Amino acid sequence: MTRHESGLVVETQGHVRVLTLDRPERRNALSSAIQADLIEELLRCAEDGVRAVVLTGNGPAFCAGFDLKEIREADQRGERFRPPMNRTTRALFEVVTETPVPIVAALNGAAVAGGFELALACDLRVAARGIKMGLPEAAIGMGANFGSVVLPKRIPMGIALEMLLTAEYVTSEDAERWGLVNRLVEPDDVLPTALRLAERIAANAPISVRRMKETAVKGLELPLWQALRLDVGPNPYLSEDRVEGIAAYLEKRPPNWSGR
* Active site residue ranges: 117, 137
Q: How far apart are CA 202 and CA 173, in angstroms?
A: 28
Q: How far apart are CA 53 and CA 122, in angstroms?
A: 10
Q: How far apart are CA 211 and CA 201, in angstroms?
A: 13
Q: How many C-beta neighbours within 10 Å does residue 19 have?
A: 21
Show the CA angle centred on residue 38, arms to residues 49 and 52, nearest 5°.
35
> What are the two backbone dihedrals, phi and then psi, of residue 120, each rounded to the nearest 5 degrees?
-60, -35
- Are residues 190 and 127 in contact, defined by beta-carbon separation less than 8 angstroms? yes
CA torsion 18-23-26-28 (nearest 10°) is -10
Helix (H) or strand (E) holding 2: strand 2-3
Instruction: Give the three-state DSSP class for 234.
Output: coil
